[in-house]
């Protein structure tokens, strides 16, 4: 019998906050480092990696395929091994379901991947067809699928895809490309390409591992060669930091995030500009980012490169003093849930005024009231409900534990901030 999801009453902020909140490592960097370490020429060490459902699933997948992954406190050591066939659970993790297939093509036996029921709705055909075009045996166009084993490394070559559904299709192909005998050139042709910072992150990490990568307009060429083992120091997850920064904008006062990088490819860094545009003051000094709340204003913002921040920004927009238009995010319909439909439904259920558009949301502030906020098994939907609950009494978030996907212990961290900040 499947247990019923829990209900969590989001705490209302009693006054302005004064809080410093450390956040764990970046999921995006951690899971990219796992793939590169699994294909490297020597062991690698990850310092301060994220330990969450998404990263634990990646670790388990690599272990099952022949790598040795060992964790000691905040350090993970990955020793590459001969990749072999396995059955993999990807949960609801896009980075696992889309980064593993090109790596699985390097195994000497078939690799079958499946995940949560909701994961079977997520777009996968693009990367699976790309592998077929590169000569890899693939059964299925979505979860579950099987990538056939190859006695020799796939040759690779050039492939053209429509990555408008997810930048992860590009990153997945690029990460394993050095181990293909001819490397891989990926060309994107189609709709707007979302989340470019994540592709930039992939290219940057490949180059840091000693791989030659050429880039052009919507074209990336990864040359064949060795991936160097080494040490990866994982930055804090800036996207996971944004709900806490948003709390200062809703409740007033200041919230600080330590160890914020001066320079980063993480899309969460753009929240600094968004916070200022919405009326907050932002200060980065000594490696600590502090956001201080002010009057909360609406914005018109192209979220195409930073779609994962949409739930946080939409929650803020619902509490602002003027309308907001968020655009460039049609691809969010293929995330953990259809985030555009989910945000509109949940904010409107609390008395809001949100209109879905083809590529975004029009959010007009309206008086809100309490009620149950559904998470849709989506970690960022759960945190959006918590943000609204800071100001609106009796907001009850269904299945707040889904935040363990990328931020284990979120509810306790949030309550400590509100009650002690």
Tell me which of 170, 200, 223 is where a domain ends: 223
* 71 is known to lie in a ligand binding site: no
Angle at the Cα of 173 from the Cα atoms of 341 and 104, rounded to 5 degrees: 100
Continuous H helices in 146-282: 168-176, 196-208, 238-251, 271-277
Question: Across 38-156, where does the E strand assignment appear?
Answer: 44-47, 68-72, 75-79, 86-89, 111-114, 138-139, 145-147
Residue that is last in its domain, among 193, 223, 253? 223
Give CA–CA dist 350/366, Å, rounded.
9
Percent of the chain surpassing pLDDT 70: 98
Instruction: Indicate the number of domains in the chain.
Output: 2
Is residue 18 assigned to a domain?
yes
Is 132 labelled as part of a ligand binding site?
no
Cis peptide bond upstream of 144, omega within 30: yes
pLDDT in tens, 189-221: 999 999 999 999 999 999 999 999 999 999 999
Does residue 299 lie within any of the structural domains?
yes
On whether 283 is known to bind a ligand per the annotation, the reply is no
d(CA 76, CA 170): 26
Tell which of 171, 189, 223 closes a domain: 223
Strands 7-9 and 395-398 come out as antiparallel
Domain co-membership, 143 together with 281: no
Tell me: do 325 and 299 sit in the same domain.
yes
Same domain assignment for residues 365 and 399: yes
The reported pLDDT for the residue numbered 337 is 82
Residues 203 and 83 grouped into a single domain: yes
In a shared domain, residues 198 and 308? no
- In the predicted model, is pLDDT for residue 134 greater than 70? yes
Asked whether residue 231 is assigned to any structural domain, the reply reads: no
Tell me, yes or no, whether 124 and 209 share the same domain: yes
How would DSSP label each residue in 31-71?
A: HHHHHHHHTSSS-EEEES---SHHHHHHHHHHHHTT-EEEE
Q: Is 32 annotated as a binding residue?
A: yes
**In the block, residue with structure tokens 């804090």:** 236
Give domain status of residue 271, yes or no.
Answer: yes
Residue 374: the pLDDT is 97
- Position 382 in a domain: yes
One domain for residues 378 and 242: yes
CA 264, distance to chain mean position in Å, is 15
Is 115 a member of any domain?
A: yes
Q: Could you give the 3-state DSSP secondary structure of residue 363?
A: strand
**Contact status, residue 398 vs residue 375, Cβ threshold 8 Å:** yes
Q: What pLDDT score does 97 carry?
A: 97
The average pLDDT across 68-93 equals: 96
Whether 115 and 18 share a structural domain: no
Find out whether 6 is annotated in a ligand binding site.
no
> How is residue 297 written in tokens?
């204003």
Rounded to a whole number of angstroms, the distance between the first and last alpha carbons of the chain is 40
What's the pLDDT at 243? 98
Q: Which residues are part of the catalytic machinery? A: 308
Rg of the Cα atoms in the chain: 21
- Same structural domain, 317 and 403: yes
Does position 1 have pLDDT exceeding 50, yes or no?
no
Q: Are 240 and 376 contained in the same domain?
A: yes
380 labeled binding residue: yes
**Whether pLDDT at 342 is above 70:** yes
Widest distance between CA atoms in the chain = 64
Question: Each residue of 282-310: pLDDT tens digit?
Answer: 999 999 999 999 999 999 999 999 999 99
Is position 229 within any domain?
no
> Which H/E stretch holds residue 387?
helix 379-389
Question: Phi and psi at residue 104, in whole multiples of 5°?
Answer: -60, -30
Nearest to 243 by CA among 364, 67, 410, 97: 410
CA angle at 372 for the pair 369 and 378, rounded to the nearest 5°: 120
User: Residue 254, annotated ligand binder?
Assistant: no
> 257 and 118 share a domain?
no
Residue 151's pLDDT band, with cuts at 50, 70 and 90, is low
Residues 280 and 366 in one domain: yes
Angle at the Cα of 339 from the Cα atoms of 412 and 393, rounded to 5 degrees: 45
Does residue 27 have a known ligand-binding role? yes
- What mean pLDDT do residues 43-50 have? 97
For 391, the token pair is 């100001």
Q: 130 is in which domain, residue-wise?
A: 27-223
Structure tokens at 271: 């929240």
Residue 28 assigned as binding residue: yes
pTM value?
Answer: 0.93
Q: Is residue 297 part of a domain?
A: yes
CATH number where 370 lies = 3.65.10.10
- Is 322 annotated for ligand binding? no
HSE on the CB side for 184, CA within 13 Å? 31
């Amino acid at each position: 019998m499947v247990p019923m999801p829990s209900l969590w009453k989001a705490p209302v902020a009693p006054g302005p906050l004064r809080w410093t909140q450390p956040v764990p490592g970046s999921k995006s960097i951690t899971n990219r480092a796992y793939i590169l370490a699994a294909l490297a020429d020597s062991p690698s060490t990850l310092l301060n990696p994220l330990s969450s459902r998404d990263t634990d699933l990646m670790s388990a997948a690599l272990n099952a395929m022949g790598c040795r992954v060992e964790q000691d406190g905040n350090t993970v050591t990955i020793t590459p091994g001969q990749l072999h066939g396995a059955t993999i659970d990807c949960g609801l993790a896009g980075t696992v379901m889309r980064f593993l297939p090109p790596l699985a093509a390097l195994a000497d036996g078939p690799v079958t991947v499946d995940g949560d029921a909701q994961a079977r709705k997520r777009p996968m055909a693009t990367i699976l067809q790309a592998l077929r075009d590169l000569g890899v045996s693939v059964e299925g166009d979505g979860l579950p699928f099987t990538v056939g084993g190859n006695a020799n490394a796939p040759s690779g070559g050039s492939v053209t895809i429509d990555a408008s559904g997810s930048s992860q299709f590009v990153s997945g192909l690029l990460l394993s490309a050095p181990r293909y005998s001819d490397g891989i050139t990926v060309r994107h042709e189609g709709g707007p390409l979302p989340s470019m910072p994540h592709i930039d992150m992939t290219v940057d990490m490949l180059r840091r591992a000693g791989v030659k990568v050429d880039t052009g307009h919507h074209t990336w060429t990864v040359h064949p060669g060795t991936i160097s083992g080494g040490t990866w120091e994982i930055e804090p997850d800036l996207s996971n930091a944004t709900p806490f920064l948003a709390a200062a904008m809703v409740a007033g006062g200041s919230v600080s995030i330590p160890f914020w990088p001066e320079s980063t490819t993480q899309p969460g860094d753009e929240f600094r500009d968004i916070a200022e545009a919405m009326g907050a003051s932002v200060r980065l000094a000594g490696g600590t980012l502090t956001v201080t709340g002010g009057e909360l204003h609406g914005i018109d913002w192209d979220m195409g490169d930073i779609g994962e921040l949409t739930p946080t920004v939409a929650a803020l927009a619902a509490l602002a003093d003027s309308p907001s238009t968020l655009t460039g995010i049609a691809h969010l319909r293929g995330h953990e849930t259809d985030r555009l439909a989910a945000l509109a439904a949940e904010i409107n259920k609390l008395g809001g005024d949100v209109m879905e558009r083809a590529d975004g949301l029009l959010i007009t502030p309206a008086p809100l009231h309490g009620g149950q906020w559904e998470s849709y098994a989506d970690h960022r939907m759960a945190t959006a409900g918590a943000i609204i609950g800071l100001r609106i009494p009796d907001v009850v978030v269904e299945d707040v534990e889904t935040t363990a996907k990328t931020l284990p212990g979120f509810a306790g961290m949030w309550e400590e901030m509100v009650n002690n900040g």
